[in-house]
Structures are given as structure tokens and as C-alpha cells.
Structure 1
Amino acid sequence: MALPKLQRLWLCEAVRLREEHAGLLEDSEANRRAQAAGGDLASRIETRALLLAERDGQRQAQRHWLQGARLALLLLGLLALASGAGLAVAALGDGQTPVNVFWALGSLLGLHLLMLLGWVVGLLFGGGHGAALGRIWLWLSEKLARDSSALHTGPALVLLLRRQRLNRWLVGMAVHGLWLAALSTALLMLLALLSTRRYGFVWETTLLGGDTFVALTQALGALPGLLGFPVPDAATVRASGDSPLPLESARHAWAGWLIGVVVLYGVLPRLLLGLVCLWRWRRGVAQLQLDVDLPGYGLLRERLQPNSERLGVCDAEPAQLYQVQSAAGVDASSGALLVAIELDDRRPWPPVLPKSVSDAGIIDSREQRRQLLDQLTRFPPARLAIACDPRRSPDRGSLALLAELARCAGSTRVWLLQPPPGETLDSERLGDWHKALDQLQLAHHGSSPLTWLETGHD
């Protein structure tokens, strides 16, 4: 599975949480493939988890969760754009009355500065994962996923990121990105309104003097002034306290000052902080590693790196185990193999085989089954024919073995043997075989597949 590193570790955590709540899954095939893939314990745990996640639907649940997260971010982004436009319109009004510059500035940047201060405090003292917008985004992502298999998907991501302290940077990217969208929209709307309407600017006070507003205006405009934005001089500020000045230069100075303050104290901080969060996020993801010391992974050490292998199945086998995936088969496969399952002693076996076809014998015991599956995992055949006696019922164990064998071969056919002379097949039982094999999507025939095994065609 060519998945990004974060998604692979995310699935490992989801499988670990599931097994922590429900007990170890039936994982004999996944363990066998993980052992065949080799590598250290972390690599084997990851291979096992990816196989189980694909089998049990958690990979599909992860895709649904990611789709929900993107949709949630899109909805919040649209809300941010609408809010930014609304802030600009509310700050300037309809142009019929003078604009109180400090009320307008408070409308544009007041909530932004409070939320920014809250994010910084949370980052320093609370881990940075308590931002309201971030919590809303994660909650909405889970709701939009709408997948019954996604029970552990969201919590697994939160635990994985919190363990590595990456949640603050993920939430930070989302929060600063949404605020950047809102403030950028407000800035564009501000420019559009100031370009198409005539506004007069005033400041009003009952308790404070004019010198206070002069100092405040020049202090706020000092940094924007370094970037080339105009700053009203002291005379313009004092004259604007009674009524809006009719001079065009005064209107331009106030408008440029307002735009500069929004850019410098609104747009730029969010942009810079968003880039910092993105940098820390990418750096943290690159350093992510699977923590094999977690209790759930400690139980897998003997299964994936055993000193001695134990036979037997500890858990009930789920129905999904017996499904042959549409992408079944292996790339590095060669040769042809014939194997039989549970044939009685009265039937002569094997038939005369071409030189290019190998005989794997008759599988009767669990030990023979394990040995054959280990062999096929390491040396998968290009063509595999499985002989079955349709006089027996297609029980769950036989179907499980057929599915496991088929997943270890490039192409598989089931040979439903004809009855010995003097006996007939039960039509109802034969129909059960056909139905079960069709559900497994395995090709089946009542005639000999030796020509197909030898040549690859009929």
C-alpha cells in the first residue's frame, strides 16, 4: 500500500485502539505476510496493521474521514470568507455617516486579536490543541465521515498526534488558515468599498483628550508607515475629532492608515504563524516513528518475531477473511502448482502431471496448511489449481483456506473433482459449492485444469 507515512501510522494506531477495546483480531494470515515481508518489529507491526485495516474496512473508513475533513474545512473556509466580507461592510457602513476609525478598527481586528492571544496562551500553557476552531473542525470532520467503521479513526489520529505533540501544529494550520482567509477577504472588501464610495473619518471621545488619539494613531501607524502606508499627521488627527475633514488628502491618509493596520496586525501575523505551523508540522511528520513500547504492540512481539511458532487459531474468524480481493495475486510469481484439499484414501492422487507442474500433495492437517501457506507466501506460483471433493460440504474452514491460497497466487482455479465410479454428486451440495466459490470470485470447473496449469490457457 503506497500510503503516506502519517496515514500508515494512523492506521496502526486505529488497529491498536480497536484491539485494545475488543481483543486481538484473527490475524494468522496478516502475521504470516508480515513475517514474510521481513524488517524490524516496527515494520512488521505496520505491515500487519495495514493488512488488517484493508481487510476489516478501516482503510476505507480513513478515506471517508479524510473526505469529511476536507469537506469540513471547505465549509469553514466558506464561512470565513463570508465573515470577512461582513466585517468590512459592518466596519465602514453605507457611506452615509462618518466612519469612527477606532470603532471600525475594533470591528475588523478585535476578535482576531483576542483569538490570537488565546491561541498563544494555549500554545504556551495548554499544548495548543484547545483552539475552538480546531475542535469544531475535528468534530465536524468526524460527523461528515458517516462511516460505522470510523469509530476509532478520529481518536486514533488525535492520540497519535498528541503523543508526538503535533496536534498543536495541525490545529494551528487550520486556525491560522481560516483567519487568514477571513482577514484577506475583509481587506479586499475594504479596498473595494474605499475605492467605490466616499467615506469621511472621525474619532469621538468624552473622557479622553485629543493628544491621546494622536499618540494612539501614530503608534499604531508606525510599523505600517515603515512599509509605505500613509499615517495621518497630528493636525489631521486633531481636526478629525469634530467632523470629517472635506480634504481629499485627509481621507486618503485615514484610509491608508486603516488598510495598513489591518495588513500589519491582521493579515501578516496569521500568514507568518500559519507558515511556522506548516514548517513544524512537516518537520514533525518526517520524524514520526511507531512506538513499539506501547502495551498493545508488546503483545505482538512474539507473534511477529517468534522464537517458536505456535499453531492454532485463537479467535473466531470473521467473514471478511474469506473474501478474495479484486486485486488479489502477486507480481513476482512463477510456475504452476496443483494442491488437493481433504481427499479420501480411495481416490488415486496425484494424476499424471506435466513436467512444468508441481504437486503440493493433499492438505489434511493444520500443520500442512501452515507449511504450504508459508511456502506460497515466499514463492508464489503464477497459476494454482486447487482440487476439492464436492461430496463434502463447503464448510467455513475449507473456504477460508481457499481464499488464503488464492491470495498467494497470481491466478487460481478450483477443480471440483468428479465422483468415483458408481457414485453420484448431490446436486444441492454441488450448488452450495458453486454459490460459495462465486461469492469468493474464484473460477471453478469440473474438468481437469492440467492444460491451463501447463500453458496458461485452455
Structure 2
Amino acid sequence: MRSRVSASTPPPTTLLTTLDRLWLTEAVRLREEHAGPLEDDEANRRARAQGGELAELIEYRALWLARRDGLINALQHWRQGARLAGFALALLALFTGAGLAWAALGDGQRPVNVFWALGSLLGLNLLTLLGWLLGFFLAGDSGGALGRLWLWLSEKLARDARAVQLAPALLTVLEQRRLGRWLLGLGVHGLWLLAMGSALLTLLALLATRRYGFVWETTILGEGAFVGLTQVLGTLPSLLGFGMPDIDQIRASGTLANDFESARQSWAGWLVGVVLVYGLLPRLLLTLFCLWRWRRGRAALRLDLQLPAYRLLRERLQPPSERLGISDAAPQRLHVPGSGTQLNGGDGAVIVAIELDQSQPWPPKLPGSVADASVLDDREQRRRLLDQLTRFPPQRLAIACDPRRSPDRGTLALIGELSRCAASTRVWLMQAPAGQALDSQRLQDWHQALDGLGLDHASSAPLSWLENGHD
């Protein structure tokens, strides 16, 4: 017998975070907004059976549709693409930082102009930091060019057409508490933190393995400007224990003939300290600040029930008659229409037939523990039975079909929906009445269709299985 997971259980979302749930809910909303309403009768019915507040019902419905339509898998693919994009950007940041250090110090054959080196190490970092601050406070930019590049790469690397709504949905969810700027800011500052860390380590490695001399040069400025600037920049690093050249060493470095060992060491310590304090530490502090704001805001995310799409869902998920409250306790046993047999919710067995004509006798002689759900002929009967089975899913369900009819899409969809209401399901392809023969090709079509649904089927009534759980 094939093993089959019943869809009467909630969607496999136990590994999804609160953000993932809101993200998928918003993705379903955007999809319906652009492509029109989805076929959601079963999702709505299961959400109503689940019970709870409106936000919980909307989320359950969306997650059920997301699982059915492959959005949960698309989310996993998008996450994989995001990780690959982040890894690629992290590698770029590491190589960028190392390249900045190499460009600043050179090969050691010539003296290093300290302020050109400082500009090479900190210039791009400070310019991008200034751009981020201006965008943050003036333009409300969520993350700058690096953040948009990461989102674009994530979508491209996901390589899943179903993921097209995921990036807009994520930004919409995050916009609720203006979290987009903190998430993308975390990425931007984290990348620059990697770059400056790489630059600092490369700088230390070069200074430890090569002999560098340091000079300053000018045509229009006096040495007093360099002395003052050097002391100002070295004040904070000196508080952390980094060395700083004295006035005589700074003045002596203005000549290319300077080759004092103590001066080289002082300038090296000064350069490392300035890069650490003005390059790495600001990015570290901003990364930690963005992380704190991101975690704090993420914990406060909620579904925005004021959106028009969610207001429309209220009537379908919480009909007025249900919102008035419960006047009677839930029955201990489920009444199944037809023969009047009752089923103890979750422990019994049910048999139902689909569109039988008068030549097929119904019901068969049933054991006392098996409930007859009668013959489903119209939409109302189907809806009523599906509602009951959703609330009280049986352990075993047998579905009787007349294989003289073609296995059309509607019948197969109903069989699939019924099967998802039970822990285990079998299909009974009834024998033709006396004097009539079954079309072998049509019977083969039934077998292929039911195999595609993953359902067991047989030509004999599964009465022993219904009663005992085995043949």
C-alpha cells in the first residue's frame, strides 16, 4: 500500500519563522492582486475549520495556498539564491579590502605617501558611508546600491519563476515598520565591515613582512598643516594604545631622505590605528545598531488587516453567523448525511459514492462501524460533506466510483479533495451491472489518473479494510 501524507494536517510550516509566514501571506496577496483570485474553496474551508482570530485564518489560508502552489519551495529557492548572493558579495568585499591595502602600500620599493595611503584605505569607505547617511535621512533609501544589488542577485540566483513576487512581498512586509532600511543596512555595513577587516589584516601582513618608509609631500601647504592633521587623526587611536609619530618625526618625514626606524614604526602604528578607528569601528557599530533595530522590529511585525484584500477575506473566513459566537458545544459524534450513521471524529471509517446512476445499488451492506456518506450528486452535498470531514477527519475513507464514466477533471479534483480529509483513502472502482461491460481503455484511464493522485484503488469493495484497517 502506498504511503501518503494526508493534507488534512496543517501545511508543513513548523520550520517557518513568523517573518516567513507573514512573507508568504503577503506574497499570496500580491499574486492575487496581479493575477486575480486563486481557487481557494478548500483553503478557506480548512482555515474556518482551524478556527482562531482573523489574522490566524488569513495566514493559514495563505500558507495552505503557498504549499499547494509551490510558493514554500520557491521561498526556499529564494533563500538559497540570497545566500549565494551574500556569499558572492562577501567574497567581493574581502578581495576589495585586500586590494585597497595593496594599492595603499605598494610593493615597498618606494616610500609610502601616508595621506595618499590613508585616502586609498578610507576614501571609498567614507564616501559610501556618507552616501548611505544622506539616503537614510534625506531620501529614505532602504539600503543603497549594495542592498538593491543583493535583492537582484537573490532573485536571479533563485532561478524559480514562482519567486517573482517574493522580493516585493518581503519589502512590503518590512515597510510596515520601516524594517527594510535596517535589514539592507545590516547587509551594507556588514559587507563594508568585511572589507575593512580584510584591508586591516592585509595591511598588518604587509607591514609585518616588508620594509616601508613613510613620507608626506606638498607643494602649496606648509608642514604645520600636516603636523596638525596627523595629531588630530591620531588622537582617538592613541587612546586605544596605538602609536603616533611626534612632531620631529612628522617634520622629518617631509623629506624623502628620511629613513629612521622609529619613524617607520610610529607611522605604521598610526596608520593601522586610523584605519581601525575611522574605517572598521564605525561600520562595526552601525552593523550592531542595524542588527538591534532589525531584531526589535521583526518581533513586532503583524499582519496588516486594514488592507482591502484582507477586509474582503473577512466575510469568507469569518461569516457573520460564525462571528456571533458558539451557542452549543461541538457534538461528540459527526453526523454524516445519508443513512444516518454517525462517525466518532478522527476514529471512524466512511464510505462515499460519486455520481452513481440507478443501475448501481447503494449502499452496500456495511459493518456497523462504517458510516455511509451517501451518493454525492450536487455541489451542495459535496460542500456539506467536505465541511464535516474537514472538521472531523476519519481514519479511513473509501470512495466508490463508476468506471463507466470518464475520469474528468472535476471528479478527480473532488476525489483528491476528499482524500486529503482522511488519514488513509482507497478508491473502489465498482463492477459494471450485470449484462454490461467496462471499457478497458476507460478503465486504464482511471488507473493512470488514480496512480497520479497516489491513491490505492481496487475493483472490490474495501469493506474489511474500512472495518479493521487491513484487508
Q: TM-score range by the shorter chain?
A: over 0.9
Partner amino acid for 1:32? Answer: R
* Separation in structure 1 between the aligned mates of residue 278 and residue 195 of structure 2, nearest angstrom: 14
Corresponding position: 1:76 with 2:97: no
SS in 2 for 1:358: strand
Query: Which residue pairs with 1:411 in the alignment?
Result: 424
SS in 2 for 1:74: helix
* Separation in structure 2 between the aligned mates of residue 87 and residue 302 of structure 1, nearest angstrom: 61
Q: Contact 2:399 / 2:426 at 8 angstroms: preserved in 1? A: yes
Which of 113, 138, 154 is the matching residue for 1:141?
154
Corresponding position: 1:57 with 2:50: no
Corresponding position: 1:16 with 2:29: yes
SS in 1 for 2:178: coil
Q: Contact 2:182 / 2:291 at 8 angstroms: preserved in 1? A: yes
Query: Which residue pairs with 2:309 in the alignment?
Result: 296
* Separation in structure 2 between the aligned mates of residue 22 and residue 306 of structure 1, nearest angstrom: 25
**Residues matched between the structures, number:** 436
Q: Once the 2 structures are TM-superposed, how far is the Cα of residue 215 of structure 1 from its aligned partner?
A: 0.7
SS in 1 for 2:256: coil
Partner amino acid for 2:361? Answer: P
Q: How does 1:225-374 map to 2 (within 5 A)?
A: 225-243=238-256, 245-307=258-320, 333-374=346-387
Q: Once the 2 structures are TM-superposed, how far is the Cα of residue 356 of structure 1 from its aligned partner?
A: 2.3
Query: Which residue pairs with 1:389 in the alignment?
Result: 402
Partner amino acid for 2:294? Answer: W
Which region of structure 1 is more displaced relative to structure 2, 58-67 or 12-21? 58-67
Q: Once the 2 structures are TM-superposed, how far is the Cα of residue 258 of structure 1 from its aligned partner?
A: 0.3
Q: Contact 1:245 / 1:251 at 8 angstroms: preserved in 2? A: no
Aligned-CA RMSD value: 1.3
Partner amino acid for 1:131? Answer: G
* Separation in structure 2 between the aligned mates of residue 21 and residue 334 of structure 1, nearest angstrom: 43
Query: Which runs of 5 or more residues in structure 1 are unaligned?
Result: 310-331
* Separation in structure 2 between the aligned mates of residue 400 and residue 244 of structure 1, nearest angstrom: 89
Which consecutive aligned stretches of 4+ in structure 1 deviate over 6 angstroms post-superposition?
none
Query: Which residue pairs with 2:130 in the alignment?
Result: 117
Corresponding position: 1:198 with 2:211: yes
* Separation in structure 2 between the aligned mates of residue 237 and residue 121 of structure 1, nearest angstrom: 35
* Separation in structure 2 between the aligned mates of residue 196 and residue 245 of structure 1, nearest angstrom: 20
* Separation in structure 1 between the aligned mates of residue 125 and residue 307 of structure 2, nearest angstrom: 40
Q: Once the 2 structures are TM-superposed, how far is the Cα of residue 130 of structure 1 from its aligned partner?
A: 4.7
SS in 2 for 1:230: coil
Q: Contact 1:95 / 1:199 at 8 angstroms: preserved in 2? A: yes
Which of 387, 398, 406 is the matching residue for 2:411?
398
* Separation in structure 1 between the aligned mates of residue 395 and residue 199 of structure 2, nearest angstrom: 63
* Separation in structure 2 between the aligned mates of residue 371 and residue 159 of structure 1, nearest angstrom: 38
Query: Which residue pairs with 1:208 in the alignment?
Result: 221
SS in 1 for 2:320: coil
Query: Which residue pairs with 2:7 in the alignment?
Result: none
Query: Which runs of 5 or more residues in structure 2 are unaligned?
Result: 1-12, 323-344
Which region of structure 1 is more displaced relative to structure 2, 175-184 or 147-156? 147-156
SS in 2 for 1:152: helix
Q: Once the 2 structures are TM-superposed, how far is the Cα of residue 210 of structure 1 from its aligned partner?
A: 0.9
Which region of structure 1 is more displaced relative to structure 2, 292-301 or 398-407? 292-301
SS in 1 for 2:289: helix
Query: Which residue pairs with 2:195 in the alignment?
Result: 182
Query: Which residue pairs with 1:37 in the alignment?
Result: 50
Which of 437, 440, 446 is the matching residue for 1:427?
440
SS in 1 for 2:201: helix
* Separation in structure 1 between the aligned mates of residue 130 and residue 346 of structure 2, nearest angstrom: 61
- Identical counterparts, % of pairs: 68
Q: Contact 2:176 / 2:301 at 8 angstroms: preserved in 1? A: no
SS in 2 for 1:430: helix
Q: Once the 2 structures are TM-superposed, how far is the Cα of residue 393 of structure 1 from its aligned partner?
A: 1.4
Q: Contact 1:202 / 1:244 at 8 angstroms: preserved in 2? A: no
Q: Once the 2 structures are TM-superposed, how far is the Cα of residue 151 of structure 1 from its aligned partner?
A: 2.1
Partner amino acid for 2:245? Answer: P
Which of 170, 174, 181 is the matching residue for 1:161?
174
Q: Once the 2 structures are TM-superposed, how far is the Cα of residue 348 of structure 1 from its aligned partner?
A: 2.3
SS in 2 for 1:300: helix
Which region of structure 1 is more displaced relative to structure 2, 338-347 or 273-282? 338-347
TM-score (norm 2): 0.90
* Separation in structure 2 between the aligned mates of residue 244 and residue 340 of structure 1, nearest angstrom: 101
* Separation in structure 2 between the aligned mates of residue 437 and residue 240 of structure 1, nearest angstrom: 87
- What's the CA shift string for 1:277-310, capped at 9, x where partnerless? 111111111100100111121221111111269x
SS in 1 for 2:87: helix
Corresponding position: 1:103 with 2:97: no
Q: Contact 2:346 / 2:393 at 8 angstroms: preserved in 1? A: yes
* Separation in structure 2 between the aligned mates of residue 109 and residue 281 of structure 1, nearest angstrom: 27
